[in-house]
Amino acid sequence: MNIAILGSTGSIGHSTLEVIRKNKKDFSINLLTAKTNHKLLIEQCEEFNPEFVYLEDEQARKVFEGNLLDKKLQTCVIQSLKEFEEIIGCNETDVVVAGMVGIAGLMPVHFAIQKGKKVLLANKESYVVAGEYLNNLCKETGATIFPIDSEHSAIHQCLNNEANKSGVSRIILTGSGGPFLNKDIEEFSSITPEQAINHPVWNMGKKISVDSSTLMNKGLEVIEARWLFDFENIEILIHPEGIIHSLVEFKDNSVLAQLSNPDMKIPIAYGLGYPNRINSGSNKLKLHEIKSLHFQEPDLNKFPCLKLAIDLLPVGGTSFSILNATNEECVAAFLDGRISYIQIYEIISKVLDRIEIKTVQSLQDIYESDKASRLEASSIINNL
Ligand code: MG
């Protein structure tokens, strides 16, 4: 099987290559892409020998090309976005791993779905903002989506690809609760970026760590799950150990759960190997060492960002892109020290009141609401 990894120098790209390293005879690399990290990309080329690479940053691309010549590697460097799309869509690409972050992932994900590819989706933003639209497109083109998000992969595994969900009564999405699960609500106003990016279970980028601390990440995951599984009855369960990655309840009140150590290589190996199971290289789960698992309901007063996201489920349309864009702006402002922790929620809530929510007819509608929301958020932040 031939794989295109978009964002190969990031954490998902890194984990994907680790899984491929364990299964070298079954997979080859067609395309690796990165934004600027030409140093790591050349190391990946030496080891995995991809047919093509694409570096978004022109300066980095030039340096990379020089290094490629020095090392006498055969990899072909793509020069334009158009060529990049052609490689994603070509017959030689079987699987597209969408590992890049942010709304920038929407275009390539859309393109891979248009071409009917098997997509391993780590870019949750694309399904948050355009889930309904992309679902319809999947039906037309026969593209399949395998979520690389521990919770959504767990749900996928519990559903066992059941096309008919009439037997399912509830999806229960778990979350660790983040670093402030037991913090007094009175102390929330003084939370610093350093405290917010210190996640107890997962080691992640700054943006997603802040989202995990506000539980906005869980809110975005509820929206993502709503579209990935075309199912609305989704509840959140706080589970600090992060061992049960999610559960599915059926009509007879039987509940299936997926358990493993927190390790992204498991969802990646599940998606790459499906319908077979392959070696993920992850450590075995030792429940006798963990001994006990804990659960509680989420506190929506303490974590109002989660409530914002849940309340948007029946609203739909561009509301999800307003939420996502405004959150990105607010988290960046918080990390820069321009707004306080509790202002993240206050500003998102204001922007949701101010920007008109429309139905999504095309990706253009999403890009427009994304832009309008960012402008509105920036103007609120600048006038504070
Ligand atoms: Mg997750």
- Domain layout of the chain by residue ranges: 2-147, 162-260+296-382
The alpha carbon of 381 and the centre of ligand 1 are apart by a number of angstroms equal to 28
Reported as type and span, the H/E element at residue 11 is helix 11-22
- Can you tell me the mean pLDDT for 82-107? 93
Rounded Cα distance between 250 and 16, Å, is 32
3-state secondary structure of 119: strand
Q: Region 81-98: what's the mean pLDDT?
A: 95
Residue 235 has pLDDT above 70, yes or no: yes
Task: Give the tokens for residue 23.
Answer: 């299964």
CB 51 within 8 A of CB 31: yes
**162-260+296-382 has which fold?**
Rna Polymerase Sigma Factor; Chain: A (1.10.1740)
Q: Cα(303) to centroid of ligand 1, in Å?
A: 17
The alpha carbon of 236 and the centre of ligand 1 are apart by a number of angstroms equal to 12
The pLDDT of residue 208 is: 87
pLDDT of 198 reads: 84
**Position of tokens 């990946």?**
44
Reported as a pLDDT band with limits 50, 70 and 90, residue 200 is: low
Q: Domain 2-147 carries which CATH code? A: 3.40.50.720
Distance 79 CA to ligand 1 centre (A): 34
Cα(246) to centroid(ligand 1), Å: 10
Average pLDDT, the chain: 95
E-strand stretches of 23-167: 28-34, 52-55, 76-77, 95-98, 118-121, 144-147
What's the gap in Å between 210 CA and the centre of ligand 1?
13
